Structure 1
Amino acid sequence: MTFAAASLQKDERNRILIVDDDAEIRDLLCEYLDDAGMETRSAEHGEAMWQVLDSFRPDLIILDLMLPGTDGLALCRALGERMAIPVIMLTARGALIDRIVGLEMGADDYLVKPCDPRELLARIKVVLRRTMLFPPEARVEDVASLRFAGWRLDTRLRQLHARDGGVTALGGSDYLALRLLLRHPHRTLSRDYINLQVYGRERGPLDRAVDVCISRLRQMLEEDARNPSIIRTVRNGGYALSVDVMVEA
């Protein structure tokens, strides 16, 4: 099974659920997204969100962080445990640590209020496009191997197989970093996010662990590690896997 954006276009309207305790924001976003050709529902808190989800399966959820009762972070984590629906967090809290924690809880993107609805629409389209490239039901944890650029990663044995039959056993951080990139092809992942996912800690100002790990992976994967074509450096952004991924159950 391969994930090519051109072959995964949906005929029906994308369904969006907006969870925000501000009625004015809910109405504004619903009206704007409806006008953009999407089908929307809204909820003012977590309990209402679960009620809506009983009868409406969205393609994406826009989730406010500051909600009465259960907050957005806890809801995002609970959503990830129960169902595979991408989440964009929409919140007034824009500090770096808030964005990192939001991503760690499973959010696919993070947008700070106040935001232009046009930017939100653009972010929604990007996340939906990524979801079609790598559907949530084809999770890396549930597949036996992933193929990319002539390589195959065995996710059970944590081995990297080359075209010529060579096999390399990957260490913990190298395996986790490669698996993370393969889970998000064509998506820029920040050094902070990679560091948190791979090493379980925040990245310090002089912390080069992620760069060293990516360098090791390039030495294994690239024909020319100084001019990489598989793992691309995004200036002021981080790293991105720039090839398509095929999954095998």
Structure 2
Amino acid sequence: MGKSDLIYVVDDEKDICDLVCTELEYYGFDIRAYQTGAQALQAIKRQPPALCIVDLGLPDMDGLALVKELCDNANVGVLILSGRGSLPDRVLGLELGADDYITKPFEPRELVARVHSLLRRIGKDDSQPRPSNIKQARFADWTFNPATLTLTRDSGDILTLSTAEADLLGTLLRAPQQILSRDRLLGEQAIPYDRSIDSRMSRPRKKLEADPKEPRIIKTVYGAGYMLSTIVEWIDSA
């Protein structure tokens, strides 16, 4: 694992940390999470990453002070991810040397796109997904392999998904037991009152569910969206 795959997330909000780490790990990055600026600075001395994703509301120091320290003394990219979205904060963060600034709440897929763009810009992007480092998802009695777009049942049956089916299932797997709105599942292609997601969802359901009319894995939450009802375990590819 090279430095170009390594990203540090510095944020004391556990839910945000977990979301960012899960999303980036899915795309093949090596992620380390830290709750304080001091922890991150100590880790950088031992092993500098390609990129630090920094929240400004840290418990031990102002995140802007950490950004300045990183930009002045560490050869790493810096992406600010913060609920502080005022113009003065954004301008100051960028003037201190941050490479990008994203405000919370944020769209996880946009964060991944920004990370790839930033790493390409600073010449450190060796991290495009590869079959050797993309993790597989274990859930219910299935294993999903994003590299091969296959579902393998514990009994040994193997099913192949289309790219659209795999993208949809991947979104659900990265947010298990959470209600996802139709807009989030459709992403940038969503338009108001778009019902095409209902038709799209029926396809992976037919492959996963014993009875698609009474789904136990992908459940409809009426008026809200859909939810993957099972626990998901991410494992290394064989």
**1:145 and 1:248 in contact (8 A); partners too:** yes
The 1:213/1:67 distance shift into structure 2, 3 A limit, reads same
Query: What SS does structure 2 have at the residue aligned with 1:186?
Result: coil
- Asked if residue 172 in structure 1 is aligned to residue 167 in structure 2, the reply is no
| 2:230 counterpart of 1:248 | no
Distance change >3 Å, CA 52–CA 211, structure 1 → 2: farther
Alpha-carbon displacement from aligned partner over 1:167-205 (angstroms, at most 9, x marks no partner) = 111111100011111111122221101101xxx423232
CA distance in 1: counterparts of 2:186 and 2:85, whole angstroms? 23
**Corresponding position: 1:106 with 2:121:** no
Aligned residue for 1:75? 101
Can you give the 5+ residue segments of structure 1 that lack an aligned partner in the other structure? 1-12, 20-25, 31-38, 77-87, 91-98, 108-138
After superposition, the C-alpha distances for 1:35-59 in whole angstroms (9 at most, x for unaligned) are: xxxx354346xxx56236689xxxx
* C-alpha deviation, 1:240, in angstroms: 1.5
Measured in 1, the distance between the counterparts of 2:175 and 2:55 equals: 24
Task: Kindly indicate whether the alpha-carbon contact (under 8 Å) linking 1:18 and 1:42 is maintained by their aligned counterparts in 2.
Answer: no
> Number of residue pairs matched?
158
Aligned to 1:122: none
Aligned counterpart, 1:51: 68
Alignment match, 2:192: 204
- Give the corresponding residue for 2:148: 157
Give yes or no for contact 1:18–1:41 (8 Å, CA) kept in 2: no
Regions of 4+ moved over 6 Å? 52-55
1:52 & 1:239 partners in 2: Cα distance?
43
CA contact (8 A) 1:145 1:247 kept: yes
Read off the aligned partner of 2:170 and give its amino acid letter.
Answer: R
1:185 is matched with which residue? 176
Identity of aligned residues (%): 25
Does the CA-based 8 Å contact 2:179-2:226 persist in structure 1?
A: yes
Cα distance in 1 for residues equivalent to 2:145 and 2:110: 26
Once the two structures are TM-superposed, the CA of residue 15 in structure 1 deviates from its matched residue by 4.8
SS of alignment partner, residue 105 of structure 1? helix
2:202 to 211, 215, 221: 215
Distance, in Å, in 1 between the alignment partners of 2:70 and 2:178 is 28
CA contact (8 A) 2:81 2:101 kept: no
Question: Partners of 1:62 and 1:140 in 2: how far apart?
Answer: 30
Structure 2 residue runs of 5 or longer lacking an equivalent are: 1-33, 38-53, 74-79, 113-128
What is the distance in 2 between the residues matched to 1:89 and 1:160?
34
Tell me by how many angstroms 1:221 deviates: 0.8
**Any residues of structure 2 matched to 1:136-151 within 5 Å, and which?**
142-151=133-142
The correspondence for 1:65, drawn from 85, 95, 100, is 85
Please give the root-mean-square deviation of Cα atoms over the aligned residues, in Å.
3.8
TM-score normalised by the chain length of structure 1: 0.51
Q: Secondary structure at the match of 1:64?
A: coil
Structure 1 segment 9-20 matched on structure 2, within 5 A: 15=36, 19=56
